Amino acid sequence: MQQLDVITFGEAMAMFMANQPGSLHQINQFTLELAGAETNVAIGLARLGLRAGWVSKVGNDAFGRFIIERLKNENVNIEQVLIDEQHPTGFQLKSKVLEGDPEVQYFRKGSAASHLQITDFNKAYFQSAKHLHLTGIPLAISEQARAYAKHALSFMKNNGRTVSFDPNLRPSLWASKEEMVEQINAVAFRANYVLPGITEGEILTGYKKPRDIASFYLESGVELVVIKLGEEGAFYKTAFDEGTVPGFKVKEVIDTVGAGDGFAVGVISGLLEKLSIQETVARGNAIGSLAVQSPGDNDGYPTYYQLQKYIEENLQGVK
């Protein structure tokens, strides 16, 4: 079995991107693309030359085959992508915007990925990886997927692997805000690295200041908290250090979807390469800024060479 640097898992969907601006019900031409927070991260890591594996279930349908072929083309390991003969692959519609966040409509209820369960867990595959990246989405899509996520987390921690966690809140998938906060924080407390956005941090902790949000998780044993601040960059804190790393100025924001996943790619890769925290966070900011300058969820993610060149040409105040 191939040795991996990072494993992640979750739900991928076929995405129909509108070819022109306007309300979704008025659009008659779309482009087929791939969507999914965890696939974004796997693709981004693979483009940087890391060995990334993605685990999930897809339906035995055209969308499932599209996802598998796309990930193969991106050099993502898909040995543990299972075919579900009974349940379909989810899909979504995404509007094209000239500024701000796009409109997205999901068709994912009862999808193959939501039926991922503990009996699908492959110990040898997960043991082959150095690091696990989790998001809050598998915790939300079904009880089976939530159990799988918690099992994977426990297995990796018990085997001495590191775990990063992006809350990636999806309130519409939860029965209540209270359940969402309880379940997300239960997982966050057990991760090594937690990567919330500032608004997510406020929802999950009740605090508004980045320092207080970070302290909330550090007091529970988390090693590093990095809080995304949008165009201002990101705030980080450990038990020994803290600071704000400025963001990268962009000429035009085309689409914000995928920026947070790109940020995770930068942070995870930097940590695995043992860069300084400042360099690691700057890398996250760089990939996030590249992501918002492209229309797709992950087509702005760079290769390693492109990333280094972009940082050298645009770095602001980070040595």
DSSP letter, residue 121:
-
The CATH number of residue 93's host domain is: 3.40.1190.20
Where is 202: in which H helix or E strand? helix 198-205
Measure the CA–CA gap between 292 and 276, rounded to whole angstroms: 25
- What do you get for the CA distance between the two ends of the chain, in Å? 39
Q: What is the pLDDT of residues 221-232, one digit of tens each?
A: 999 999 999 889
Set 5, 84, 255, 261: catalytic member:
261
Asked if 261 is an active-site residue, the reply is: yes
Q: What is the pLDDT of residues 202-253, one digit of tens each?
A: 999 999 999 999 999 999 999 999 999 988 999 999 999 999 999 888 877 7
* Residues 82 and 125: beta-carbon distance below 8 Å: no
- For the ranges 38-42, 50-54, 111-115, 287-291, the lowest mean pLDDT is seen at 287-291
Position 319 in a domain:
no
pTM, entire model? 0.93
DSSP letter, residue 168:
-
Position 150 in a domain:
yes
Measure the CA–CA gap between 107 and 189, rounded to whole angstroms: 31
Domain count of the fold of the chain:
1
CA distances (Å), 230 to each of 120, 137, 186, in order? 37, 21, 25
Q: Which domain holds residue 269?
A: 4-314
